[in-house]
Amino acid sequence: MRMLAYGGPADALDDTYKMAESTVLETLMEFVTTVIDVYGGEYLRPPNPRELEVILRHNEVRGFPGMIGSIDCMHWEWENCPTGWSGMCKGHKGKPTLILEAVATQDLRIWHAFLGLPGSHNDINVLHRSPVFDDLANGRTPEIEFWVNGNPYTMGYYLADGIYPDWATLVKSVSAPASMKHRVFAAAQEACRKDVERAFGVLQAKFKIIHNPARLWKQRDLNAIMLACVILHNMVIEDERNMYLNPLNAADFEGLEDPPVRTSRDVPEISQFIDAYRCMKNKETSKQLQQDLIDHIWGHYGASTGPFAGR
């Protein structure tokens, strides 16, 4: 825990714990592996129907009906990246990195974590390789139905920044807002999208080992450390959830005692799986949803009365 929290080198613990550097590293890996094996099923899972209902209700109050969370990527510098991999892992950061894709809600709970792609990838490349929408394509997620500006929708969505593609499951800001209506929407979208950025900041503040450059050699070990830190972060969030979700009732999130997700939808054929992905990647639905949200937020938070007045 000291190594995870403070990120110091393993040989700095020799005098305190009377353990050799190799023993410290072996103990660290045994600890993070055990955390993943024991708690990963509960703290690295998508929200169940009860939790999703609370998330949707809370985001509707914020002006985004149907929103499940915010999605973004974080780079973790890899100081001891093998020389043969350095070119592949070096991107716009100028140093070898590994990428973490995450989905977070306002309480900073990370509901999806996908780590391991080299830093030469951008957010679009990571999204195409990520399993974030696999459950939706396979029909293993709870059904979502909501109305925006008088139009019905049946797929939840994530808030994303401008680099992401125009998919029906992603809502981006307006890059160059020309009217007050667009400026109000851009301010609301960017404010809510900061949930995932805040989650990254809190995660790195709690665990300096992922704030500092990674010193280990094996990518498998780094993946285990990151996932263990995400699990421990989610444990803290769940323990303190009533502080973050006020005035929502923290008891709505039942955790381990929740029943498993059950849905009547099934996608047994590959053709249906492909059709589901086509629906998710539909650009026309994406544009229509964005325009409906612009009108919806303007109707609720107009420039003269809303919380974004004067921006």
Residuewise pLDDT in 10s, the chain (311 residues): 888 888 877 777 777 777 788 888 899 999 999 999 999 999 999 998 899 999 999 999 999 999 999 999 999 999 888 888 888 888 888 899 999 999 999 999 999 999 888 989 999 999 999 999 888 888 788 888 999 988 999 999 999 998 999 999 999 999 888 889 999 999 999 999 999 999 999 999 999 999 999 888 888 999 999 999 999 999 999 888 755 444 445 455 454 444 344 344 444 577 777 888 889 999 999 999 999 999 999 988 765 544 455 44
CA 196 – CA 103 distance, rounded (Å): 6
**Quick check: is 306 in a domain?**
no
pLDDT of residue 252: 52
Print the domain residue range for 12: 2-300
Q: CA torsion sign, 156 to 159 to 164 to 168?
A: positive
The residues, ordered by sequence, that sit 6+ positions from 120 with a Cβ below 8 Å of its Cβ are 87, 88, 89, 90, 91
Sheet-wide strand order for 67-77: 110-118, 97-104, 67-77, 157-159, 170-171
**Quick check: is 309 in a domain?**
no
Domain count, the chain: 1
Residue 10 is classified by DSSP as G
**Quick check: is 290 in a domain?**
yes
CA 100 – CA 178 distance, rounded (Å): 34
**Quick check: is 311 in a domain?**
no
**Quick check: is 310 in a domain?**
no
Cα torsion at 245, 225, 89, 8 (round to 10°)?
100
What are the distances in angstroms from CA 104 to CA 45, 111, 113, 154, 193?
A: 12, 6, 9, 21, 9
Closest-CA residue to 138 (of 258, 276, 235, 280): 276
Helix (H) or strand (E) holding 151: strand 151-153
- Spell out the alpha helix ranges (H) of the chain: 2-6, 14-17, 21-43, 49-61, 83-89, 123-129, 134-137, 180-206, 208-211, 219-239, 241-244, 270-280, 283-300
For Cα atoms 12, 93, 82, give the angle at the middle one, nearest 5 degrees: 55
Orientation of helix 180-206 relative to helix 219-239, angle to 10°: 110
Beta carbons within 10 angstroms of residue 258's beta carbon: 14
pTM across the whole model: 0.84
Distance between the two ends of the chain, CA-based, in angstroms? 44
Residue corresponding to tokens 């890059």: 175
Closest-CA residue to 137 (of 279, 6, 237, 273): 273
**Quick check: is 158 in a domain?**
yes
CB 113 within 8 Å of CB 248 = no
